[in-house]
Amino acid sequence: MTECEKIVKRDAFLKAIEVEDAPSAAEGLDLDSMVVDPSYDGVKLEKEMTQEFIDDMIERFKNGKKIARKYVFQIILAVMDIVKKEPTMVETSITEPSHTITICGDTHGQFFDLLNIFKLAGPPSPTNSYLFNGDFVDRGSWSTEVALTLYAYKWLYPTSFFLNRGNHETDDMNRMYGFEGECRAKYTERVFKLFSESFSALPLATLVNSKFLVLHGGLFSDDNITLDDIRKLNRFKQRQPGQSGLMMEMLWTDPQTAPGRGPSKRGVGLQFGPDVTKRFCERNGLEAIIRSHEVRMEGYEVEHDGKCITVFSAPHYCDSTGNKGAFIKIGKENKMEFTKFNAVPHPDVKPMAYASNGLAGLI
């Protein structure tokens, strides 16, 4: 309780001094004059991302090494520039029989399980698209490695590798559940601030084949919300989702079995029933919504008469839950193919190793 009270007080203080129009953390960052240490033994990153660099970076991460700080800045800034140009709801279609998109849920800093996803579902490519549906970071203790790997692929394949924002791509969560501390420990405070800026620029949803709406949390408090309302939402108006509004609901809500809507067990957002999902899908011409945000013991669950699918991709979550992970492949014919997988071994670093104020021992 004492530790939690400290965190609440610190968070209130940070909010009080926060300046909404603060200058970018990229201001004054001169990458051209930034020198990589001559002893750096990894592949060099020039002006464009390459598969060679990604392969080398992944090997470094597997061996407990880091990449040069200049390269971290390059990757974040390049991706921030890409995602800022994307709409709030990205729309993508699979048009070729040989082309698929793999939809993944929360990965939460579980880097070695992320590599297993790429092994099982195939490496990202222009014909093997991926969509990661938020919560890349926090809790797992390889969050910088996960974020940089996803960002590197986004830079390499900007039109076939997609990232939605989750409720853990927010400052409040990152301060409490480890990502901010991890950025400081492995790199610098400025790296976290740049990641924070890039998170606030991420799209909030992806529409696949005009039939599947993929968003991190779920549906809304108002039945009148449509896909057009999501399209028109200015996600740049506020960097953080706050306690109410469309952005908050997209990141935080959960399904329930009972009809109608109910209070959230999380204390923020709400819960929505099968009738809410049915009306939303019918009104917007959707087959289903695909969301993440919650552990499912089998890695996924088909709910609400098939119209709400939850997918969660962090197996044995926090090294304690015993759940499977899962991902969904969708092709041109809109058929969903589910794959479940178990956790793979990882180095002996506990979850929440970088959480603030001893929270790792509390959660």
Residue 100 lies in a domain: yes
Residue 310 lies in a domain: yes
Residue 60 lies in a domain: no
Q: Considering only residues 116 and 362, tell me which one the structure prediction assigns the higher pLDDT.
A: 116
Q: Which percentage of the chain shows pLDDT scores above 70?
A: 92
pLDDT at 235 over 70: yes
Query: Is the overall model pTM greater than 0.85, yes or no?
Result: yes
Cα–Cα dist 106/154, whole Å:
17
> What pLDDT does 22 receive?
75
In this prediction, residues 292-303 reach a mean pLDDT of: 98
3 state DSSP class of 133: strand
pLDDT at 10 over 90: no
Q: What is the DSSP string of 91-122?
A: EE---STT-EEEEE---TT-HHHHHHHHHHH-
Residue 293 annotated among the catalytic residues of the structure: no
Structure tokens at 335: 């058929």
Residue 23 lies in a domain: yes
pLDDT at 363 over 60: no
Cα–Cα dist 217/269, whole Å:
9
> What pLDDT does 23 receive?
83
> What pLDDT does 11 receive?
60
Structure tokens at 10: 């610190």
Q: Considering only residues 332 and 362, tell me which one the structure prediction assigns the higher pLDDT.
A: 332
What is the number of domains present in the chain? 1
Phi, psi (rounded to 5 degrees) for 263: -70, 150
Mean per-residue pLDDT over the chain, rounded: 94
pLDDT tens figures, 121-154: 999 999 999 999 999 999 999 999 999 999 999 9
Q: By residue range, what is the domain housing residue 9?
A: 2-30+69-361
Within the chain, where are the H helices?
2-17, 51-62, 69-84, 111-121, 143-156, 171-177, 179-186, 189-201, 227-232, 246-252, 274-284
> What pLDDT does 267 receive?
87
Residue 42 lies in a domain: no
> Which CATH number characterizes residue 162's domain?
3.60.21.10
CA torsion through residues 158, 162, 167, 173, sign: negative
Structure tokens at 305: 């008469």
Residue 53 lies in a domain: no
Q: 309 and 303 in contact (C-beta within 8 Å)?
A: yes
Residue 61 lies in a domain: no
Residue 55 lies in a domain: no
pLDDT at 7 over 80: no
Q: Which of 108, 168, 216, 293 is catalytic?
A: 168
CA dihedral 54, 60, 62, 63 (to 10 degrees): 170
